Amino acid sequence: MKDIQQLRHDLREGVIAFPVTPFHAKDWSLDLAGYRKNVEEMMDYPLAALVAAGGTGEMYSITPEEQVALVKATVEISGGKIPVIAGAGFGGGLSVVMAAEAEKHGADGILMFPPYYPGADFEGLLDYYKGIGKATKLGLLLYGRDWVNLTPGQVERAAAEIPNLAAFKDGQGKVRDYQRTIQRVGDRLNWIGGIGDDCVPGYYSIGIRTYTSSVATIAPKLSIQIHERAAAQDQAGLLDLMNKYVLPLYDIRARRKGYEVTVMKEAMNILGKAGGVVRPPLPQLNPGEREEIAKLMKAYGPVL
């Protein structure tokens, strides 16, 4: 287990990967062997961190027992080489159990998802985050996504009142607002670009140097190239990667709600990785789209 300062050091730049949680098509049961194989392959690349049971990992559809199994497997495979961050969410009861269990089984940090109750008052939301912070000594990543769209002042207050808050992961993609938040809070937190590989140009233009990549589930090599070109301000090279690989994939992902995971899993299946199927309420793939994804994965050859 890494202390908070070491975690922040490790997250200062690079690619944070989100392994999917593969499920068997027959009964939606957890394919833990497939998950382990996927993570083992990811360890061949210089990633900044791995997130067990994150958004791409369908945190909201797994059981507490499955979360523990995923965290334990990821910690074992990483062997302390890179941080393992565990997702926690749902509500004020289950979230603290998930955080404590993740720490018990060797995680290095906690990614705090919005609670199940949408539109909560900020005071209640802050108490929710504080509860997770009190349940673990691990560094926390506050995840602003979906209905959690915090103002700069609210992020500043969370940073002041939660001692082990280590980083903020943006899931809104509003670069103007994010820039204002960073300016107000400063280096009290690490700042992570967290809505998608396609937003790296915007994130890195305001000084961010760490981003969370779902593309890393299929092509870690591409994710690292995206980071390197963006960090070097190689605009032409970055645009080339966006146009050839990232934007065509994200165009398919944007067709239906929940397709962010569905499409990535099918791409993994096509590439011979353990993708499996999604659990409800995420949608299964539309007929005919597998061929479209297969064609795109063939074009991915140079970055696999």
Would you write out the chain's pLDDT as a tens digit for each of its 304 residues? 789 999 999 999 999 999 999 999 999 999 999 999 999 999 999 999 999 999 999 999 999 999 999 999 999 999 999 999 999 999 999 999 999 999 999 999 999 999 999 999 999 999 999 999 999 999 999 999 999 999 999 999 999 999 999 999 999 999 999 999 999 999 999 999 999 999 999 999 999 999 999 999 999 999 999 999 999 999 999 999 999 999 999 999 999 999 999 999 999 999 999 999 999 999 999 989 999 999 999 999 999 9
Whether 145 maps to a domain, the answer reads yes
Question: Among 167, 113, 161, which residue's Cα sits nearest to residue 138?
Answer: 167
Active site positions, annotated = 143, 169
- Residue 250 maps to a domain: no
Does residue 272 belong to any structural domain of this protein?
Answer: no
pTM: 0.97
Query: Could you tell me if residue 242 is inside a domain?
Result: no
pLDDT value at residue 212: 98
Structural domain tally of the chain? 1
> What is the predicted pLDDT for the residue at 154?
98
Q: What pLDDT was estimated at residue 2?
A: 82
pLDDT at residue 1, rounded to an integer: 78
Amino acid at 52: A
Domain enclosing residue 75, as ranges = 4-231
Q: Which amino acid is at 221?
A: K
Strand partners, 86: 52, 110
Asked if the structure places residue 70 within a domain, the reply is yes
Q: In the prediction, which pLDDT does 189 show?
A: 98
- Domain assignment present for 184: yes
The H or E element containing residue 16 is strand 14-17
Q: 236 lies in a domain? A: no
Quick check: 20 and 38 in contact, CB under 8 A? yes
Does residue 263 fall inside a structural domain? no
DSSP secondary structure, 252-291, as one string? HHTTSTTHHHHHHHHHHHHTTS--BBPPTTSPPPPTTHHH
Q: What is the CATH number of the domain that holds 55?
A: 3.20.20.70
Helix runs in the chain, H state only:
4-10, 32-42, 64-78, 94-104, 122-135, 152-161, 175-185, 200-205, 220-231, 235-241, 247-253, 259-270, 289-299
User: In angstroms, rounded to a whole number, what is the distance separating the alpha carbons of residues 103 and 108?
Assistant: 7
